[in-house]
Amino acid sequence: NLLAYSFVLSPFSEQFFRSGHTNNWAVLVCTSRFWFNYRHVANTLSVYRSVKRLGIPDSHIVLMLADDMACNPRNPKPATVFSHKNMELNVYGDDVEVDYRSYEVTVENFLRVLTGRIPPSTPRSKRLLSDDRSNILIYMTGHGGNGFLKFQDSEEITNIELADAFEQMWQKRRYNELLFIIDTCQGASMYERFYSPNIMALASSQVGEDSLSHQPDPAIGVHLMDRYTFYVLEFLEEINPASQTNMNDLFQVCPKSLCVSTPGHRTDLFQRDPKNVLITDFFGSVRKVEITTETISLQQYSEMESSYKEDQMDEELMEPLKYAEQLPVAQIIHQKPKLKDWHPPGGFILGLWALIIMVFFKTYGIKHMKFIF
């Protein structure tokens, strides 16, 4: 049956099944604290905004911001984070959901999110619940160096740890394909050590180069964005969920004349040709719909409803609803003190009393013992 249908499928069907992933996730990390690192938060929020606009829902985005810039007391316009000077674009938006904030952005939490080794009490919004058919976008920004990335000015993650984390993800089948973008100084050093398949990596600068920031805003007083992410944001603003732009365009997004540093990329671990990989494979969300001809019959709920109404009528609804007393002073004062269970003394107290009794009987003689027993 299926074979018969395949002859009449339109040419778009080939593209439909081309990529092999069924869901998209994004892990966006800003690792810098303090007001003068405003641009790192703006970088992460611009990628968040683009990814959300292209269809990935909040439940599939793990956003980690190491500090709060929007409601920082030094922000002249609260609840906003701007990416362009003259305050054109508020990337903080009206419905942002930050999953890891402030002190929770640590190397340990980041690696736990990636590998899935999370304590059972973690809420769902803080987990990366990807499977072997997920395409994951990982974006990191902050201050970095040759082979490391600094988290919150107090700890670092090395490129070897990151590569091992990705290998754990591969072995646990937590991704189908992974796109890793990093915007820090000497960013290319972070992807040098990757060895797991299906990873494509982009960085804003090569080893030995610094990534530069874009433009300061005189009213806010800090640099608003980094150059690489600024041009990536401009590129992504042109993309819509149906566009056919591929990865090769993303590699060319920031030439040396605009970025001053040389962006790099790594595709040797990736199985598909970058020109066949759509931008929306990672930045957008896939909604694959499977049409079925089976029908499911829903049970009749009417008998449940009638019994519900009977319960309702039995109650005495005429009595007014009663709130609990707010401050029951009389009950507080006249509480009986709780009787604590008596435990026999142990350890130090027991040893101390034994010593005292021994010394007593040594000084005053053993004849007093018979008065005890």
Partner 1 sequence: MAAAMPLALVVLLLLGPGGPARAESPRDSLREELVITPLPSGDVAATFQFRIRWDSELQREGDTDHYFLRYAVLPREVVCTENLTPWKKLLPCSSKAGLSVLLKADRLFHTRYHSQAVHIRPICRNARCTSISWELRQTLSVVFDAFITGQGKKDWSLFRMFSRTLTEPCPLASESRVYVDITNYSQDNETVEVNPPPTTTYEDVILGTRRTYAVYDLLDTAMINNSRNLNLQLKWKKPPENEAPPVPFLHAQRYVSGYGLQKGELSTLLYNTHPYRAFPVLLLDSVPWYLRLYVHTLTITSKGKENKPSYIHYQPAQDRLQPHLLEMLIQLPANSVTKVSIQFERALLKWTEYTPDPNHGFYISPSVLSALVPSMVAAKPVDWEGSPLFNTLFPVSDGSSYFVRLYTEPLLVNLPTPDFSMPYNVICLTCTVVAVCYGSFYNLLTRTFHIEEPSTGGLAKRLANLIRRARGVPPL
For the chain, the distance separating the N- and C-terminal CA atoms, rounded to the nearest angstrom, is 98
Helices 159-171 and 107-115 sit at what angle, rounded to 10 degrees?
20
Of 199-207, 213-221, 308-316, 354-362: span binding partner 1 (CB under 8 A): 308-316
Smallest distance from the beta carbon of 67 to partner 1, in angstroms? 9
Least distance to partner 1, CB of residue 362, Å: 35
Which region holds residue 109: left if phi is over 0, alpha if psi is between -120 and 50, else beta?
alpha
Q: Of 185, 214, 223, 259, which residue is the catalytic one?
A: 185
Measured CA to CA, the distance from residue 332 to residue 314 in angstroms comes to 36
Q: What x-and-dash track marks residues 119-158 binding partner 1 by CB under 8 A?
A: ---------------------------------xxx----
Site residues for partner 1, 62-91, by CB under 8 A, read 68, 70-71, 77-80, 90
In one-letter notation, the amino acid at residue 322 is K
Structure tokens of 264?
A: 């790099």
Identify the DSSP state of 239.
-
| x-or-dash string of contact with partner 1, 17-56, rule CB under 8 A | ----------------xx----------------------
Burial readout 289-311 (b: 16 or more C-beta within 10 A, e: otherwise) = eeeeeeeeeeeeeeeeeeeeeee
312 lines the binding site for partner 1 (CB under 8 A) = yes
User: If DSSP codes are grouped into helix, strand and coil, which group holds residue 124?
Assistant: helix
Respond yes or no: is residue 223 known to be catalytic.
Answer: no
Pair 133, 23: CB distance under 8 Å: yes
| Between 15 and 59, CB nearer to partner 1 | 59
Query: x/- site string to partner 1, residues 94 to 123, per CB under 8 A?
Result: xxxxx--xxx--------------------
Catalytic, 30? Answer no
Cβ closest to partner 1, residue 320 vs residue 347:
320
d(CA 45, CA 30): 9
Provide the 3-class DSSP secondary structure of residue 288.
coil
List residues near partner 1 by CB under 8 A. 33-34, 68, 70-71, 77-80, 90, 92-98, 101-103, 152-154, 308, 311-313, 315-327, 329, 332-333, 335
Active-site positions read: 143, 185
